[in-house]
Structure 1
Amino acid sequence: MNKLTTLFTTTLLIATAGLAQARDLGPDEALRLRDAGTIQSFEKLNAAALAKHPGANVEETELEEEYGRYIYQVELRDEKGVQWDMELDASTGAILKDQMDD
C-alpha cells in the first residue's frame, strides 16, 4: 500500500509540475510588460509573424510565460485558407515555432 501511495503522489507531482510551468497572461499584465520594455509591442510581434506569411491575417494571439520566458502565440490564416501556428519570443521577436495547423 505504501508503494502505491508513493507512486500516486509522484505521478500527481509530475503531472502538476508541467501545468505550473506555463501560464496565460491577461491584457493588463501584457500591457505592463510592454510598457516596461520587457516584451516587444504587439504590433511589432504581429508584423514579424506576418512577414513569414505575407497576405495572411492574424486570427488569434496569446501571451504566456513559460519557464520564465515570455512567449507570444499567434494563429494566422493565409490566402489559401491554411492556418499557421506560430510562437515568438516576446522579448526578442525571434520565431520559435512556425508550423501548419492540422
Structure 2
Amino acid sequence: MTRLTALVAAGIIASMATQAGAVDPDKPLTVPATVTIIAFDQLEATALALHPGSTLLDTDLDEAYGKYIYEVELQDLDGIEWDVELDALTGQVLKNHQDT
C-alpha cells in the first residue's frame, strides 16, 4: 500500500468513526440538552415485552449517524440471547434478533 493510499484509508476510517458517533467506552454518552430521549425504564419495558419472562443482561445508549439507539441484550426462558435496538427518541423497535 502506498503512503498516499494509507493516508486516504486512515482518513476514511476516521471520518466513518466520527459519523457513527464513536464513543470512548470509558466515558458515558452525553446527550445534548436539546434532545429528549425516552426514559430508560420505558425502553427496557418495551424490549422485555417482546420476550416475556426474559432477563435483562446489558443495556447501552449509542449515537449513530445522528440517531440515538438504545441497545438491550436479553436472555429468554430457553437461554436464548436476544439483541433489541430501539430508537431512543421514539421508542420504535429497530431490530429484534437472536444473538448468534
Q: Does 1:26 align with 2:31?
A: no
Deviations 1:32-65 (A, max 9, x none): 86xx761000011001101111111111000011
Identity %: 38
Any gaps of 5 or more consecutive residues in structure 2?
none
Any gaps of 5 or more consecutive residues in structure 1?
none
Runs of 4+ in 1 over 3 A off after TM superposition: none
The match for 1:92 is: 90
Tell me which protein shows more helix as a share of its residues: 1
Report the count of equivalent residues. Answer: 96
Letter in 2 for 1:26: P
User: What do you get for the CA RMSD once the two structures are aligned?
Assistant: 2.2
Structure with max Cα Rg: 1
Distance in 2 (alpha carbons) for counterparts of 1:37 and 1:67: 14
